[in-house]
């Protein structure tokens, strides 16, 4: 029989979170899940009510437009201007998405193919590297190092003029690093100098604890060759709804749309109406979510500190990127934690070679569960985590 899989599937490993799901399903007991970055908080009621009203409109039961409803693109553009002071043309510089994951994947397919090189942070959200590989292009990994606050060292990126695209993600999943204006300015200047394009995945722009993260598009000249992704998923606890948007350079947006037109038909219009409500009136929900994640962050950090595992304090995102106290084997550590204590984290190695030596806690469990996890882990940590493959 012929292999049912396309040859390109050999280029990517199995999806990490599907693997963790399998590991979780095979584990008995009361699991405390800090694995996937999926908010446990419900979508705010007024957003659900906006959706309920929109559902009754028969116009929404038909195919949506490919780039999203005009009112949704307008609301996204207005939100961007309010939040980042960046003016966008809602006709050409905004595109609604079925979640930013979809848009990131389709933008990569619209922009690169065999012979193209794409710079990808390491560690990072796996989609960047996997979609690059599926599209037949070559990922060039950019290591994120703790000594640089997990900000890409742009001097490290070799052969910049051979790059087609540089993918960035600040605030960063999984490291929680936050980029400065100076960093974005340097990235845009290099993009102009060496003729490549830059995409920033800014889905965590609203989950901050200290300073408000900025946008790549605040850099003058960035609209000529940059795109930024945003999502309602994490900000308003709407991961299941599948709604996000891309903003920025019209030619890049057009390339993404060309793939989308041949793949999907845009987000359900009732969901877009709910998104309009969230973009217009959602700041109070974002604020409330930040307060919850901040308390959880502090609970986890204090707890880990108490049991002898001090970790770096995240300034944004809902992740704690924890360096293993001893040992380099993040997968072994993750398995051990799950088997012994029914505590699930994400092994750093799953997000790139430079993620090794770390695990990621998503702050998607309530404080009482965080406390319980600390209690369970105390023994393992003080006894010393696995040193199996320590160099």
Ligand X SMILES: *Cc1c(COP(=O)(O)O)cnc(C)c1O
Total residues in contact with ligand X, by rule CB under 6 A? 14
Select from 73, 101, 341, 354 the one that contacts ligand X (CB under 6 A): 101
The residue among 101 and 341 lying less far from ligand X, judged by its C-beta, is: 101
Select from 43, 67, 100, 330 the one that contacts ligand X (CB under 6 A): 100
Calculate the dihedral angle through the C-alpha atoms of 17, 22, 24, 27, rounding to the nearest 10 degrees: -160
Residues 40-99 close enough to bind ligand X by CB under 6 A: 99
Looking up tokens 């510089």 gives: 93
Residue 230 CB, nearest approach to ligand X (Å): 8
The residue among 233 and 269 lying less far from ligand X, judged by its C-beta, is: 233
Binding span for ligand X by CB under 6 A among 83-91, 109-117, 146-154, 228-236:
228-236
Three-state SS at 122: strand
Give 104's contacts (C-beta < 8 A, 6+ positions apart). 127, 128, 131, 199, 201, 229
Q: For residue 373, what are its two tokens?
A: 């996890």
Give 242's contacts (C-beta < 8 A, 6+ positions apart). 98, 99, 102, 267, 271
Residue 330 CB, nearest approach to ligand X (Å): 18
Residue 201 CB, nearest approach to ligand X (Å): 5
188 near 154, Cβ under 8 Å?
no
The residue among 47 and 377 lying less far from ligand X, judged by its C-beta, is: 47
DSSP state of 208: B
Give 111's contacts (C-beta < 8 A, 6+ positions apart). 164, 165, 197, 252, 255, 256
Question: Is residue 122 part of the contact set for ligand X (CB under 6 A)?
Answer: no
The residue among 314 and 332 lying less far from ligand X, judged by its C-beta, is: 314
Question: Is residue 213 part of the contact set for ligand X (CB under 6 A)?
Answer: no
Question: Is residue 249 part of the contact set for ligand X (CB under 6 A)?
Answer: no
Secondary structure (H, E, C), 180-207: CHHHHHHHHHHHHHHCCEEEEECCCCCC
Select from 203, 207, 343, 363 the one that contacts ligand X (CB under 6 A): 203
Calculate the dihedral angle through the C-alpha atoms of 41, 47, 51, 54, rounding to the nearest 10 degrees: 180
Residue 3 CB, nearest approach to ligand X (Å): 30
Separation of alpha carbons 269 and 64, rounded Å: 6
Separation of alpha carbons 185 and 197, rounded Å: 13
Question: Is residue 169 part of the contact set for ligand X (CB under 6 A)?
Answer: yes
Binding span for ligand X by CB under 6 A among 67-75, 83-91, 229-237, 329-337:
229-237
Select from 33, 122, 201, 372 the one that contacts ligand X (CB under 6 A): 201
Q: What share of the chain is helix, strand, coil (3-state, %, to 5)?
A: 45, 15, 40
Select from 43, 131, 132, 231 the one that contacts ligand X (CB under 6 A): 231
Question: Is residue 244 part of the contact set for ligand X (CB under 6 A)?
Answer: yes
Residues 299-318 close enough to bind ligand X by CB under 6 A: none
Select from 239, 289, 342, 346 the one that contacts ligand X (CB under 6 A): 239
Residue 372 CB, nearest approach to ligand X (Å): 25
Residue 30 CB, nearest approach to ligand X (Å): 26
Q: Give the residue among 305, 328, 311 at the shortest CA–CA distance from 382.
A: 305
Q: Name the helix (H) or strand (E) containing 168.
A: strand 163-168
74: exposed, middle or buried (Cβ count in 10 Å: 0-12, 13-18, 19+)? middle
Question: Is residue 348 part of the contact set for ligand X (CB under 6 A)?
Answer: no
Residue 231 CB, nearest approach to ligand X (Å): 3
Q: Report the sign of the C-alpha dihedral through residues 123, 129, 131, 134, in that order.
A: negative
Residue 277 CB, nearest approach to ligand X (Å): 17
The residue among 233 and 380 lying less far from ligand X, judged by its C-beta, is: 233
Question: Is residue 346 part of the contact set for ligand X (CB under 6 A)?
Answer: no
Residues forming contacts to ligand X in the complex (CB under 6 A) are 37, 99-101, 125, 169, 173, 201, 203, 231, 233-234, 239, 244
């Amino acid at each position: 029989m012929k292999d049912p899989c396309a040859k390109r599937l050999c280029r990517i490993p199995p999806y990490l979170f599907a693997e963790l799901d399998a590991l979780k399903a095979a584990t008995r007991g009361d699991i405390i899940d800090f694995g996937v970055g999926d908010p446990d908080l419900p979508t705010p009621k007024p957003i659900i009510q906006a959706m309920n009203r929109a559902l009754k409109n028969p116009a929404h039961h038909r195919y949506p437009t490919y780039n999203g409803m005009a009112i949704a693109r307008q609301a996204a553009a207005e939100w961007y201007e309010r939040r980042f002071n960046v003016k966008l043309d809602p006709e050409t510089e905004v595109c609604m998405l079925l979640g930013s994951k979809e848009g990131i994947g389709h933008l990569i397919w619209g922009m690169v193919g065999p012979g193209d090189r794409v710079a990808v942070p390491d560690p990072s959200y796996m989609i960047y590297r996997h979609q690059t590989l599926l599209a037949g292009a070559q990922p060039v990994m950019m290591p994120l190092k703790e000594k640089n606050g997990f900000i890409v060292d742009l001097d490290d990126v070799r052969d910049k003029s051979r790059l087609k695209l540089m993918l960035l993600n600040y605030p960063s999943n999984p490291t929680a690093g936050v980029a400065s204006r100076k960093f974005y300015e340097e990235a845009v200047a290099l993009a102009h100098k060496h003729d490549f394009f830059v995409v920033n995945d800014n889905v965590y722009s609203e989950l901050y604890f200290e300073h408000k993260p900025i946008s790549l598009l605040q850099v003058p000249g960035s609209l000529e060759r940059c795109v930024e992704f945003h999502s309602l998923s994490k900000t308003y606890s709407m991961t299941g709804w599948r709604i996000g948007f891309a903003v920025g350079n019209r030619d890049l947006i057009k390339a993404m749309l060309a793939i989308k037109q041949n793949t999907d038909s845009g987000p359900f219009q009732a969901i877009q109406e709910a998104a309009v409500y969230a973009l217009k009136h959602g700041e109070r929900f974002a604020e409330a979510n930040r307060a919850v994640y901040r308390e959880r962050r502090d609970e986890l950090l204090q707890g880990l500190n108490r049991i002898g595992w001090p970790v770096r304090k995240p300034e944004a995102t809902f992740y704690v990127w924890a360096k293993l106290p001893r040992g380099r084997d993040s997968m072994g550590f993750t398995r051990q934690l799950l088997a012994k204590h029914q505590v699930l984290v994400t092994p750093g190695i799953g997000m790139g070679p430079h993620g090794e030596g770390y695990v990621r806690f998503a702050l998607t469990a309530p404080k009482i569960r965080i406390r319980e996890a600390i209690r369970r882990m105390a023994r393992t940590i003080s006894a010393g985590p696995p040193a199996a493959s320590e160099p």
